[in-house]
Chains A and B, each alone.
Chain A
Amino acid sequence: MTVMADTPKPVKPRGWYKRNEIAITPFLFLLPAVIFFSVYVIIPIFQSFWISFHEWDGLGEKTWVGTANYERLLGGDRKFEVSFWNNLRWLFLYLLAIPLGLSIALLLNQKVRGIRLYKSMFFFPFVLSQVVVGLVFSWFYLPREGLLNAILQFFGMGTVNILGDPSLATYGIIAAGLWPQTAYCMILYLTGLNAVDPEQVEAARLDGAKGLRMLWHVILPQLKPATFIAFVVTIIGALRSFDFIAVMTNGGPFGSTRVLSFYMFEESLSEFGFRMGYGAAIAVVLFFLMLIFIAYFLWSMYRDEKGAR
């Protein structure tokens, strides 16, 4: 795709654009998107960094405060500590979606009648909005009206008020989040299982591999691309857990379910004043947390790219 000079009929001298067409075209095609993306995504990232060194109510002049916001944040802000630990809980527990999704995929990877419908039914929680999922689960957990407690009582167990108990509430929300996320991982694995090389499986069978050994040594290595994507989207999802918290507990009870994304929102758009600077500082911390995973993702893509062409 490099040289355009030796086209068959180089007749009359062509215009500057014509001569440089291949070099220019990609930039013309990229221009609108790059402008848009820079204005709304790239530049705001740097602006947030800048704002985080200020005290600013979103209206008047920004006041430079240096690292004061970070000092307050890291110097024993209880809400920040709670939020940060909750973020870590989300990160680890949300990853359960991967083995859960794999299990369901293995259960459904058959060719019986109606299996397509089953697959869709298992998958479709993923297309519900997080707001709806959050509402559905908060009603599911209701201390009296909720189905969960009705079931627990049916089996003769005591009732729990999951979202009202500060030691359980975060886990209750994560469980709600796992529901659509597991569905997503399941569909990734179902697609992956479809592409598993049947000859290798047969060969392994002849060697006497079965069950878990087979899964671990033969199948999982072939599912690596699916696992990789499942890992990336799950991590991103875990760090984006805003909607569930806003809908299900609003950070409560007594602030025990806050995460950084929610705390940032609260500080920045709260009734008692737009703490834009402090909010931006929280966002920056969250950004660095996410950056670890973004870097990992980009690095593996880069490796693939080099391998590809």
Chain B
Amino acid sequence: MFPTPIEKTSRTWQLTYQAILPFAMIVWLLPLIAVAMFSIKSSADFASGNYWGMPSTFEGFVNYGKVFFESDMPRYMLNSVLITVPTMIGAVALSCMTGFALGIYKFKGNLLIFFMFIAGNFVPFQILMVPVRDLTVNMGLYDTKLGLVLFHIAFQTGFCTLFMRNFIRALPFELIEAARVEGIAEWRIFWFIVLPLMKPALAALAVLIFTFIWNDYFWAVVLTQGPDAQPVTAGITSFNSQFVAQYHLMSAGSIVAAIPPVAMFFLMQKHFIAGLTLGAVK
């Protein structure tokens, strides 16, 4: 193990280490702590210049109440859910199939198609922006959640395919050969043998996609406008203009917008990290 395990070091270093940890964590999270502090303060504190002292009154309920009951935040949040969940399902479903096709079969062009997905996944968004916007407008899907979902599914398929294909490659191939010897149809092999083995990958991918899509801002701005279809990342800017210069409310709004992916992460931590670090170890 590297570095040297702490229990094998001197007592002083052990104690220092124990002290460093919480301190380092606070420094690391300082900007966030600051925002959390802002969000429970009253406007009076800001008016009197009490930015960093103790809040004179606890206004958390009032501030967060305003976010939920006096703004469009709940609508934006709902939009985000309605965009994120279908994308998650669509992208995972498509990439199960591509992953299976590319991971199991040997055929001409296999690697080429695989690399196409990877390369596409890395291109800058801007090179897609004009044509994709145009396409969405022409399909009559501009400023709809569906328009955003379709694009996200397509784009995320690149990353998901990379992920799924590598995962399926690591499955024991003998299982599939055995099934073939039994004369089982290929789609049944996919459905009854491979898919059940992919459960951990499905979970990991689902949480990752959830976070990516929830946090998307660029496409939300390009393909939607207004509270009809915009997700919360884009909605937060109009929230901020409604409560301009009221830092306590803007802080509360950002925290609310950030909660779902954070909750997702803490609930599904194992899958999340497994997904992110796939390939970090060989």
Contacts and interface: CB of A to CB of B under 8 A. Distances in A.
Determine direct contact between A and B, CB below 8 Å. Answer: yes
Given A1-B106, A120-B266, A290-B124, A47 B2 contact: no
B192 interface: no
A184 B111 CA distance: 28
Given A26-B107, A48-B128, 4 more contacts: A37-B154, A106-B2, A246-B217, A264-B129
Nearest to A116: B269
Interface size class of B (residues with CB under 8 A): 35 or more
B7 to A, nearest CB: 8
Interface in A123-168: 123-125, 127-132, 135-137, 139-140, 144-145, 147, 150
B157 A196 contact: no
Contacts of A115: 21
Interface string B253-282: 010011001101110010011001101111
B98 A33 contact: yes
A40 B38 contact: no
Contacts of A219: 2
Nearest to B177: A1
B5 interface: yes
B158 A195 contact: no
Contacts of A280: 127, 130
B135 interface: yes
Nearest to B255: A132
Contact of B183 (A7, A144, A187, A264): A7
Interface string B200-219: 00000000000100111110
A135 B120 CA distance: 30
Contact of B126 (A106, A123, A283): A283
A127 B269 CA distance: 11
Nearest to A180: B215
A140 B240 CA distance: 16
Contacts of A97: none
B31 A147 contact: yes
A150 B50 CA distance: 11
Contacts of B130: 44, 47-48, 51, 58, 268, 276, 279-280, 283
Contacts of A308: 169
B233 A44 contact: no
8 contacts: A4-B180, A40-B154, A135-B236, A140-B31, A191-B273, A191-B281, A192-B280, A242-B217
A295 to B, nearest CB: 9
Interface in B210-231: 211, 214-218, 221-222
A93 interface: no
Contact of A243 (B94, B132, B217, B273): B217
B115 A298 contact: yes
A21 to B, nearest CB: 5
Q: Tell me what chain A mostly uses at the interface: helix, strand, loop, or mixed.
A: helix
Given A37-B154, A131-B236, A25 B134 contact: no
Interface residues of A, number: 110
B34 interface: yes
A191 B277 CA distance: 7
Nearest to B28: A122
B269 A41 contact: no
A112 B2 contact: no
Interface string B9-44: 000000001101100110011111011001000000
B120 A26 contact: no
B167 interface: no
Contacts of B221: 246
Contacts of A297: 118, 122
B196 interface: no
Contacts of A30: 97-98, 101-102, 113
B41 to A, nearest CB: 11
Contacts of A279: 126, 129-130
B125 A261 contact: yes
Contacts of B247: 139, 145
By CB atoms of chain A within 10 A, which of B6, B181, B211, B281 has the most? B281
B250 interface: yes
Interface string A210-227: 000011001100000110
Nearest to A122: B28
Contacts of A106: 2-3
B125 A242 contact: yes
A265 interface: yes
B127 A33 contact: no
Given A47-B131, A48-B127, A25 B34 contact: no
B55 to A, nearest CB: 14
Which of A106, A129, A260 has the most chain B CB atoms closer than 10 A to its own CB? Answer: A129
